[in-house]
């Protein structure tokens, strides 16, 4: 496990410029975005979006809104993505996750994943269409009244599938799902039970 720097981010950008030489699960990005400020049970509440994105297909592998002042665990998000979408070559995370995820170094090392931590300013330089969709959705949701966080997450996923996941993307002329499945033969999958056990024991 090592800390990333500006050079590493530039190398990722070079890959982005020639996606034909990259395949899905080359790299995952894990981070947070400020969510809408909404009324939950009559109380003004700040939310944030925890996400995991495949760098090449720009498909969300995990996305969930949580209370900004409440508990958030990137561990569970990472487990969920690994069980469903296979094993990436590297995971790039915002530095804020270092203290939580450093405990699972042996898990990533055993699976063969390089874990990289970068400054948030570098991390969010990459702008893609799903983040633009999220920003517009966030503005529409601001100050709305919702029964629960579950309802807000449902509305987020509904927007994501309608406006992004099933939409043709101009940079690779297919939907994110189609781009991800294009490289399905390149993806290494592990038994979900083995992933769960590895995190419980913190080893692989």
CA-to-CA separations, 202 to 51, 73, 86, in angstroms, rounded: 22, 15, 18
Q: In whole angstroms, what is the distance from residue 59 CA to residue 17 CA?
A: 17
* Helical residues (DSSP H) of the chain, grouped into ranges: 6-17, 74-85, 98-101, 105-111, 120-123, 129-141, 149-160, 176-182, 192-201
pLDDT band at 99 (very low <50, low <70, confident <90, very high): confident
**Can you name the residues that pair with 31 across neighbouring β-strands?**
51
pLDDT band at 120 (very low <50, low <70, confident <90, very high): low
- 15 in Cβ contact with 22 (< 8 Å): yes
Torsion 57-58-64-66 (CA) sign: positive
Domains parsed from the chain with CATH numbers? 25-199 (3.30.420.10)
Q: In whole angstroms, what is the distance from residue 199 CA to residue 58 CA?
A: 26
**Can you name the residues that pair with 29 across neighbouring β-strands?**
53, 92
Determine how β-strand 60-67 pairs with β-strand 43-54.
antiparallel
Average pLDDT of span 73-92: 91
Lowest mean pLDDT across 18-22, 101-105, 176-180: 18-22
Residue found under tokens 């090592």: 2
Res. 44: pLDDT tops 80:
yes
Nearest-10 crossing angle of helices 74-85, 192-201: 150
Summarised one tens digit per residue, pLDDT across range 100-114 is: 787 777 778 777 788
pLDDT value at residue 70: 66
pLDDT band at 79 (very low <50, low <70, confident <90, very high): very high
pLDDT band at 2 (very low <50, low <70, confident <90, very high): very low
């Amino acid at each position: 496990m090592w800390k990333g720097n500006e050079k590493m981010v530039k190398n990722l950008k070079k890959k982005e410029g020639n996606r034909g030489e990259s395949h899905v699960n080359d790299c995952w990005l894990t981070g947070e975005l400020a969510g809408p400020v909404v009324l939950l049970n009559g109380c003004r509440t700040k939310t944030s979006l925890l996400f995991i994105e495949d760098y090449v297909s720009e498909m969300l592998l995990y996305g969930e809104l949580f209370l900004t002042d409440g508990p958030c665990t990137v561990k569970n998000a990472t487990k969920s993505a690994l069980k469903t979408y296979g094993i990436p070559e590297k995971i790039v995370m915002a530095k804020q996750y270092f203290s939580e995820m450093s405990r699972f170094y042996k898990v990533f090392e055993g699976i063969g994943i390089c874990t990289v931590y970068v400054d948030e300013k570098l991390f969010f330089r990459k702008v893609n269409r799903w983040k633009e969709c999220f920003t517009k959705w966030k503005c529409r949701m601001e100050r709305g009244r919702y029964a629960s966080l579950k309802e807000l997450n449902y509305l987020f996923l509904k927007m994501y599938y309608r406006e992004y996941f099933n939409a043709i993307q101009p940079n690779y002329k297919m939907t994110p799902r189609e781009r991800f499945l294009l490289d399905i033969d390149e993806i290494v999958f592990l038994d979900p039970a083995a992933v769960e056990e590895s995190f419980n024991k913190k080893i692989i």
